[in-house]
A and B are shown apart, each in its own frame.
Chain A
Amino acid sequence: MSLAVLRWVPRGLGLGLLAFAVFGPIGNLLLWAFAERWYWPHALPSQYGLSFWSRVFAPRADAWGSLGLSLLIAVLAVIVSLLLAVPAGYALARRSVPARGVLMLLFLLPQAFPSLPIYMNIARLFYSVGLNGTVPGVVLVHCLHGLVLAVWISAAAFAAVDGAQEEAARNLGAGPLMTFATVTLPAALPGLMASAIFLFLDSLDEFTGTYFVGVPEIVTMPLLLFNAAMGGNYQIASITALVLLVPSIVFMLVIERFLKADVLAKIGG
């Protein structure tokens, strides 16, 4: 055996172990999602099937309501966050703003603080104004969670826009709003798209804030998963987890196409 082949022994072992560590938990989840019967000490389920899937996705089951609610909240959170973050990102990147560095850091603060104590106090404040257990309340909390990245990515996307094109548009007689709508915004769009996808996923997956603010009316998919898991129903919890897993994996596989290197290089700049 040549040395080159022998070298694949440690490599293969390391990669194999890592593959088991990464995919093992996902595989175990898949087994649970399709297991009809699984008793100790059997290593594998004794019967596979889809009966739990039909229970989860029965026409009147909770899952459809939760899925719909999760999607509604995620779409609203994306819209509200972008409405806040796009002007803010544009101002930070293209306008002179006093104390710009301090402001950029200010948006980072929620990320540098443990969020759970913040959420429980938001819940207390929301309770007094009637926002607890409502869709707008949960949307606002999700916006706070995603705001940092939305603002930073927007700022980076606008910073990467070529100023010469804007100048050309202005020289040809376009007004500032026309220039923004026809030149600046389209050029920044890939970065803003990445930010929107990120916000959508972030909202879809958010658990802790919804747990405190949405309770008890707002049962999003993560809350449904949590309730099923705490109720001891492995199959239903696993199926819900699997449904949540799909967008995350897809996002992981496509993110590089949306986040261009020139935008990435400007993040935080």
Chain B
Amino acid sequence: MQAGYATDEMMTVTAARLVADGVCFVGIGLPSLAANLARHTHAPNCVLIYESGTIGAKPNQPPLSIGDGELAQTADFVVSVPEMFAYWLQGGHIDVAFLGAAQIDRFGNLNSTVIGDYERPSVRLPGAGGAPEIARSCRNVVVILRHSPRSFVTSLDFVSSPGDHVTTVITDLGILEPDVDTRELMLSALYPGRTVEEARDATGWPLRVAADLQDVKPPSDEELDALRRLTAMVPA
């Protein structure tokens, strides 16, 4: 952690910067916070879609679940679940979507299903949910996952969603992006104070580094103020 802000705040701000004035498919937790931060700062016209069916949600406080009443009350309109997945997601209207997972491999494939054997797993995770089709239907897929050798693995225990539309991976150390030719994820940017060695140590495969490795700009005062106003409203 840097003086003045927490790693979580750096991650959230980094995610928010990827949200433009387009259509954003939002999951709960950090992605929801990031999308709403974007809405309160540089992307006031972004349209937030939560998979519960709320389109154009403008929650005053960050929701605990993707189906909070606040989302329906503030949405431009609400659709059924089949309509959400068939017309809006499969229909190709989403610019950017956020996904989380337990594991990622070097090609951005994600595991959110099991750790260990599928039939008798050591850890049964919630499952793929919307991820398999989100991962293929959105123009930009952003993965948010803390860097660790247990999460960044050479081989997934289960492929819950494919990585071919993953454009960015945001970790607690920096950013990974796929190589244009090979699609292999490479370290493309680091947060202030973080090092290539840290990223390599926290990656289960031999992590390649982009030739033009960038420095992520620390959160601005405006970004931090807006983020903290939002998090102050999160229900305990």
Q: Is B truly associated with A?
A: no
Contact surface of A with B, Cβ cutoff 8 Å: none
